[in-house]
Amino acid sequence: MVNKKFLLFLFSAVLVAGNLIAQESQPPIDTTKPRPSLQWSNRDMTYRGKNYDVLDTSYIPKFRMKQHKKYLDHQAVFPAKPRNMWELGIGMGQYNVIGNVPTLFLWQKGGGGLNVNVRKAWGYMFSTRLQYIYGIGKNLDTQPTTSYGLPYSNNGYTPLYLATTGNPATQVFRATRMEASQLSLDLIFSSHNISFNRDKNSVLFFGYFGIGALGYKTRVNALDNNYVGYRFDSLAKNSSGSASSIRKQLQSKMDNSYESAAENPGTSHILDHKTLDFAPSVGAGVQYKINKQFNVQLEERYTFPADVYLDGSRYGIPLGNVVSQGRSRDGISYFSLSVNYNLKNKKKSVEPLYWINPLDHLYQEISYPRHMMLPNPILPDEDADGVTDQFDKCPKTPAGIAVDIHGCPLDTDGDGVPDYKDKQLITPTECQPVDADGVGHCPCPDGCGELSGKKGGKCGGIADGTLYFNGNKLNAAQAELLATLASQMKAYPDCKAVIVGAGNGSKLKEERSWEHVNTVIEYMAEKHNISSDRFIFQYGKDGDENIVTFRSANTDETGPSRTPPPHPELNNK
């Protein structure tokens, strides 16, 4: 028999298990890192709301792969439903027969129940569960009743439960014990997992309707199997005390044999002579998730079979000293505490779908798109100089003119006359200010009509520059200088640039020189979409290994755009 000690033990065990089981880890979002780009990989994803990777096909069963492949190929907008775990549960609780005779609870030395169940989610809201309950319900009158002789005599049945005298027609206190086995198939509904404001919930409410079968056997606690009753003469004559005190007096005199069969004219029986009955039920409960494998559950089930004999009596509650003659259908209340385990299998499975928010994937794609097809952004650039109108400080630059990062025509010597109008490209500072053609007021020294030591012909718009590395990353000033170089190369699409790295005399210096040149070329290709084929890769020249220079290539100058590292074994040093 299940009693309150076992229930308290189970409840304590659940609390201890909650502390011992490893909690579900949720790595915090690193706010110090930049927001992931549109090309981020699975390994970069640290979004805490991710229940599973939708793009991982190992979660999808074979019969749904057709739909999922269409989704991955952008031929369908909905991903396939993932494989999810089965839930196994075991629990115990209070089992009560609600009928004509008052029920006894655990703390009143009443009965209890044990349950085992298996549950499967078929969607995010609906699941089915098969549950078996073994229960013992006890009932005991706290008022003596009479008028048993005639009705029971008509059925040939001796009506003696707790008789106050040896006379079967005298007052009695009805005391019964019902032992039952109950099997139910439940359709469960829950929607608390669908949330617009959080990725997942730890608490889940649910309700259900069940159909099943009930096999029960009710026994009477008489004095022996000859229906000789207990004698409670003084209690029967003076039963004005509280229900609690009367119950305690009765129980102090009773044994727990329940040796006599109760009235039950049913003809359908199963094992151990139990009466078989159809048993629909309704119920509701709440679950608390400890982690992805374990949860605890409180639940109330009410079963209403088409039977009036569950409590061993077809008559109603005592009215004074007379039993109500009306027949009433009995019911069963089962309040339980269970521990559930989500069963893993060899293939990848998510936790049961009623724990997963179906909006999770949608919000992931909105915040960190990996799968959705996003059009390339088209920003207005009226003069087509490569600088969008929003940032273009010179929005009317003529076509084909090289511009700086601000969208203004290049002015190499800074005399206020753009290079495409400047007839004296390199005017010394001491010869400025200049006239409208960019010519200074002093004689032009050698080379002043040339750009960067070369004639300003076909590739004259690509200026020289120097980068100084502190480590192997570009700083803001270097990025701005390379943005200017990118604008110039876009303005002169047929020209190449030579990237020269200094550093020789040792393997380490040569390797650093190569790394810096490679960093510049990769940056220009990835950031500014300048093909690496338009660069000439040179490294290991005389000078400081932290210095890289660039210039326009001569008309007949050639060289590789890529070259392998000279000493790759030093990369990790």
pLDDT (0 to 100) of residue 571: 63
pLDDT (0 to 100) of residue 346: 76
Q: Which two tokens stand for residue 4?
A: 């309150």
Tell me: pLDDT of 418 over 60: yes
Angle between helices 476-491 and 507-528 (to 10 degrees): 60
pLDDT (0 to 100) of residue 170: 54
When mean pLDDT is compared over 23-27, 63-67, 384-388, the highest value belongs to: 63-67
C-alpha to C-alpha distances, 351 to 163, 190, 287, nearest whole angstrom: 57, 15, 14
Q: What is the DSSP letter of 109?
A: T
Question: Greater confidence, 167 or 144?
Answer: 144
CATH 2.40.160.20 range(s) for the chain read 85-355
Tell me: pLDDT of 449 over 90: no
Could you report the per-residue pLDDT of 451-496, keeping only the tens digit for each? 443 444 567 668 777 888 887 788 887 888 888 888 888 878 888 9
Element (H, E) at 514: helix 507-528
> 146: pLDDT confidence band, cut at 50, 70 and 90?
low
Tell me: pLDDT of 360 over 60: yes
Phi, psi of 551 (to 5 degrees): -160, 165
> What integer is the mean pLDDT of 521-527?
91
d(CA 301, CA 180): 15
CA atoms 249, 253, 258, 264: torsion sign: negative
Tell me: pLDDT of 63 over 60: yes
pLDDT (0 to 100) of residue 96: 93
d(CA 102, CA 112): 15
CATH 3.30.1330.60 range(s) for the chain read 451-570
Least Cα distance to 175 among 217, 219, 228, 206 occurs for 219
Tell me: pLDDT of 195 over 50: yes
Could you report the per-residue pLDDT of 160-186, keeping only the tens digit for each? 344 444 444 456 777 889 999 999 999
> 111: pLDDT confidence band, cut at 50, 70 and 90?
confident
> 128: pLDDT confidence band, cut at 50, 70 and 90?
very high
> 389: pLDDT confidence band, cut at 50, 70 and 90?
confident
d(CA 99, CA 327): 10
Question: Greater confidence, 347 or 89?
Answer: 89
Tell me: pLDDT of 251 over 60: yes
Tell me: pLDDT of 13 over 70: no
pLDDT (0 to 100) of residue 153: 31
> What integer is the mean pLDDT of 551-572?
83
- The answer to whether 501 touches 543, Cβ cutoff 8 Å, is no
> What integer is the mean pLDDT of 505-522?
90
pLDDT (0 to 100) of residue 43: 39
Quote the mean pLDDT of the chain: 77
> 151: pLDDT confidence band, cut at 50, 70 and 90?
very low
When mean pLDDT is compared over 203-207, 316-320, 359-363, 379-383, the highest value belongs to: 203-207
pLDDT (0 to 100) of residue 295: 95
- The answer to whether 283 touches 206, Cβ cutoff 8 Å, is no
CATH code linked to domain 451-570: 3.30.1330.60
Element (H, E) at 270: strand 269-270
- The answer to whether 405 touches 413, Cβ cutoff 8 Å, is no
CA atoms 402, 404, 408, 411: torsion sign: negative
> 150: pLDDT confidence band, cut at 50, 70 and 90?
very low
pLDDT (0 to 100) of residue 224: 62
d(CA 283, CA 185): 12
Tell me: pLDDT of 49 over 60: no
> 15: pLDDT confidence band, cut at 50, 70 and 90?
very low
SS (H, E, C) 174-211: CEEEEEEEEEEEEEEECCCCCCCCCCCCCEEEEEEEEE
Q: What angle do CA 224, 226, 232 make, to 5 degrees?
A: 55
Tell me: pLDDT of 52 over 50: yes
The CATH class for the domain spanning 85-355 reads mainly beta
**What is the amino acid identity at position 60?**
I
pLDDT (0 to 100) of residue 268: 62
For the ranges 90-104, 256-270, 289-303, 554-568, which has the lowest average pLDDT? 256-270
pLDDT (0 to 100) of residue 537: 94
pTM, two decimals, is 0.58
pLDDT (0 to 100) of residue 180: 93
Q: Which residues have CB under 8 Å from 409's CB, separation 6+?
A: 394, 397, 401, 402, 403, 418, 419, 420
Least Cα distance to 97 among 264, 217, 10 occurs for 217
pLDDT (0 to 100) of residue 240: 61
The DSSP bridge partners found for residue 145 are 172
